[in-house]
Amino acid sequence: MSAHPPVDDSEAEHSDEHEFFYLRQQKQISEDASVSARELAARTREAVADAREEVVHQREDSVLVREDSVISREQHNNAVELHQSIIDEQLLLLRQANARLVVATIQAHELADQVQAARDQIDYTAQHDALTGLPNRTLLQDRLSQAIEIARRQTRPLAVMFLDLDRFKHINDSLGHGIGDLLLQSVAHRLKGCLRHSDTVSRQGGDEFVVLLPNIEHAQDAALSAEKIIATLAPSHLLNEHEIHIGVSIGISIYPDDGGDTDTLLKSADRAMYYAKNNGKDAYKFFDQEMHARALQRHATEVDLRHALERREFILHYQPVVHLRSGKIVGFEALVRWQHPERGLLLPEEFIPIAEESGLILPLGRWVQHQACSQAQKWIMAGLAPMTVALNTSGFEFRNKDFVTSVRTMLAETGLEPRLLELELTETVLINNTESTQAVLSALVEMGVKLTIDDFGTGYSSLRYLQQYPIYALKIDQSFVSQMVSSEASKSIVHAVISLGSNLKMRTIAEGIETAEQYASLLALHCDDAQGYFFSEPVTAEAFAALLHADMSH
Q: Is the dihedral of CA 222, 225, 227, 230 positive or negative?
A: negative
Residue 16, in any domain of the structure: no
Distant-in-sequence contacts of 518-526, Cβ < 8 A, 24+ apart: 518/481, 518/482, 518/484, 518/485, 519/324, 521/484, 521/485, 521/491, 521/494, 522/324, 522/481, 522/484, 522/494, 523/324, 523/325, 525/494, 525/495, 525/498, 526/498, 526/502
Q: Is the pLDDT of residue 102 over 90?
A: no
Residue 222, in any domain of the structure: yes
Distance CA 256, CA 359 (A): 34
* Nearest residue to 230 (alpha-carbon basis) of 181, 180, 163, 172: 163
Distance CA 311, CA 298 (A): 19
Q: Is the pLDDT of residue 84 over 90?
A: no
Number of folded domains that form the chain: 3
Tell me: do 108 and 189 sit in the same domain. no
Distance CA 201, CA 147 (A): 14
Tell me: do 460 and 504 sit in the same domain. yes
Q: Is the pLDDT of residue 1 over 70?
A: no
Residue 2, in any domain of the structure: no
Which tens digits make up the pLDDT trace of 359-376? 899 999 999 999 999 999
Tell me: do 72 and 148 sit in the same domain. no
The angle formed by the CA atoms of residues 257, 261 and 267, to the nearest 5 degrees, is 75
Of the candidates 73, 107, 127, which is a domain's last residue? 127
Of the candidates 127, 150, 180, which is a domain's last residue? 127
Q: Is the pLDDT of residue 248 over 70?
A: yes
Of the candidates 260, 287, 314, which is a domain's last residue? 287
Residue 257 belongs to domain with CATH number: 3.30.70.270
Residue 21, in any domain of the structure: no
Residue 174, in any domain of the structure: yes
Q: What is the pTM assigned to this prediction?
A: 0.61
Tell me: do 147 and 109 sit in the same domain. no
Cα 151 vs. chain centroid, distance in angstroms? 36
Of 37-46, 152-161, 208-217, 358-367, which range is least confident? Answer: 37-46
Q: What is the pLDDT of residue 25?
A: 64
Residue 193, in any domain of the structure: yes
Tell me: do 281 and 340 sit in the same domain. no
Tell me: do 331 and 313 sit in the same domain. yes
Tell me: do 251 and 347 sit in the same domain. no
| Residue 84, amino acid | Q
State phi, psi for 343 to the nearest 5 degrees: -100, 0
Q: What is the pLDDT of residue 19?
A: 63
Distance CA 500, CA 16 (A): 194
Residue 225, in any domain of the structure: yes
Tell me: do 97 and 141 sit in the same domain. no
Q: What is the pLDDT of residue 2?
A: 45
Q: What is the pLDDT of residue 113?
A: 82
Which tens digits make up the pLDDT trace of 474-496? 999 999 999 999 999 999 999 99
Q: Is 161 left (phi over 0), alpha (psi -120 to 50) or beta?
A: beta
Distance CA 316, CA 368 (A): 7
Residues listed for the chain: 554
Residue 256, preceding bond cis, omega within 30 degrees?
yes
Tell me: do 495 and 514 sit in the same domain. yes
Instruction: Give the domain range for residue 265.
Output: 137-287
Q: Is the pLDDT of residue 517 over 90?
A: yes
Give SS3 for 389. Answer: strand
What confidence tier does 27 reach under pLDDT thresholds 50, 70, 90?
low
Residue 172, in any domain of the structure: yes
Tell me: do 376 and 483 sit in the same domain. yes
Q: What is the pLDDT of residue 3?
A: 46
Tell me: do 423 and 490 sit in the same domain. yes
Tell me: do 106 and 156 sit in the same domain. no
Distance CA 155, CA 217 (A): 11
Which tens digits make up the pLDDT trace of 125-134? 889 999 999 9
Mean pLDDT over 501-505 rounds to: 93
Residue 351 belongs to domain with CATH number: 3.20.20.450
Pick 106 or 535 by higher pLDDT: 535
